[in-house]
Amino acid sequence: MTLNVALLGAGRIGKVHAKAIAATEGARLVAVADAVADAAQALAAAYGADVRSIDAIEASDDVNAVIICTPTDTHADLIERFARAGKAIFCEKPVDLSVERVRACLKVVEETGAVLMLGFNRRFDPHFRAVRAEIDAGRIGAVEMVQITSRDPGAPPPSYIKSSGGIFRDMTIHDFDMARFLLGEEVDSVMATGSALVDPEIGRLGDFDSASVILTTASGKQCTISNSRRATYGYDQRIEVHGAKGAVSAENQRPVSIEVATAEGYTRPPLHDFFMTRYTEAYAAEIAAFVKAVDGGAPASPNGKDGLAALLIAEAALKSIAEKRAVSISEI
């Protein structure tokens, strides 16, 4: 069976997903919707799809699945709407910035039995997947401690902070999901600290551009996260997992791996400077996983509950900073 997919949102990430659908056997892009008509038209033309309104897609019998890449504040409504319409749903994270709204939305998903997969793309990075595979294979024994380093090449414009929900809901949330992916046990409590060292304006808006977090599970497993909105040398994305028998780590990725040796030393080029080039393979793999999940091959994962779990950790981190104490997830 071929999965007929409609794309809601023809922006930057929408283009990435359209390309991924085209490259996935068993899937076909049939419709594109976007508030900007030209954007929808260009993307639809490139992949032989139609431009349709969201209403029309909802009513389309030839559409089995939707990929939601619209602005964050529309996600929950669209998920509910397409869940009720019986379509399989892939939605960019987050479901919503409000825990309450996410819970309500997931209730609808549950009631309708809809397939919902959430776009935590890093779970599909081949290097991070390989880390997880080594854990699953028992190479490092029982997991004890995780270290996640995640630093963006540059800070977003302060205006972005408001709509993004701040560093923990927007950036660290990927690390919270990765921690859950690797720890093999739910996070129980959170300690966090945050500062605005990169851009004081971010601080004036009540957000942080530099953050450190410790996550602890009930059995005492620990995860440290180090975040910054500044990394002059490129997109710094490393994980290491320590277990009873050893450790496994994923190195940084660079587009070109050469080395120049001169009297000044040995120099390798900077890392990828953009998350889209860094995670090219991950974006393709997550769409392939979604297609497979809809096809019944495997449960959709990560799903809405994973999105909620990561959001709860983000909320706990914010509360930890505000109250200068360890915050339990159960408090949120």
Structure tokens at 200: 């004081």
Distances (CA, A) of 87 to 105, 114, 250, 298: 15, 7, 36, 17
**Smallest separation (angstroms) from a second copy to the CB of 29:** 15
CA terminus-to-terminus distance, the chain: 43
**Smallest separation (angstroms) from a second copy to the CB of 211:** 8
- Say how many residues make up the chain: 332
Distances (CA, A) of 229 to 79, 157, 234: 30, 11, 11
- Complex with a second copy: residue 61 or 266, whichever CB lies closer: 266
- Complex with a second copy: residue 82 or 208, whichever CB lies closer: 208
**Smallest separation (angstroms) from a second copy to the CB of 198:** 8
**Smallest separation (angstroms) from a second copy to the CB of 243:** 9
- Complex with a second copy: residue 66 or 239, whichever CB lies closer: 239
Q: What are the DSSP calls for 85-123, one per residue?
A: TT-EEEEPSPS-S-HHHHHHHHHHHHHHT--EEE--GGG
Q: Specify the 3-state DSSP secondary structure of 310.
A: helix
- Complex with a second copy: residue 74 or 270, whichever CB lies closer: 270
**Smallest separation (angstroms) from a second copy to the CB of 245:** 6
- Which sign, positive or negative, has the C-alpha torsion 191, 196, 198, 201? positive
- Complex with a second copy: residue 186 or 251, whichever CB lies closer: 251
Q: What are the DSSP calls for 270-302, one per residue?
A: ---SSHHHHTHHHHHHHHHHHHHHHTTSS--SS
Which residues of the chain form contacts with a second copy (CB under 8 A)?
126-127, 130-131, 134, 139-140, 144-145, 147, 149, 151, 189, 191-193, 195-198, 210-214, 216, 219-224, 226, 228, 230-233, 242, 244-251, 253, 255-270, 324-326
Nearest Cα to 88, choosing from 196, 6, 202, 33? 6
**Smallest separation (angstroms) from a second copy to the CB of 104:** 31
**Smallest separation (angstroms) from a second copy to the CB of 14:** 19
Give φ, ψ of 329 to 5 degrees.
-60, -30
Instruction: Please name the residue that has the structure tokens 């974006």.
Output: 283
- Complex with a second copy: residue 74 or 280, whichever CB lies closer: 280
- Complex with a second copy: residue 71 or 246, whichever CB lies closer: 246
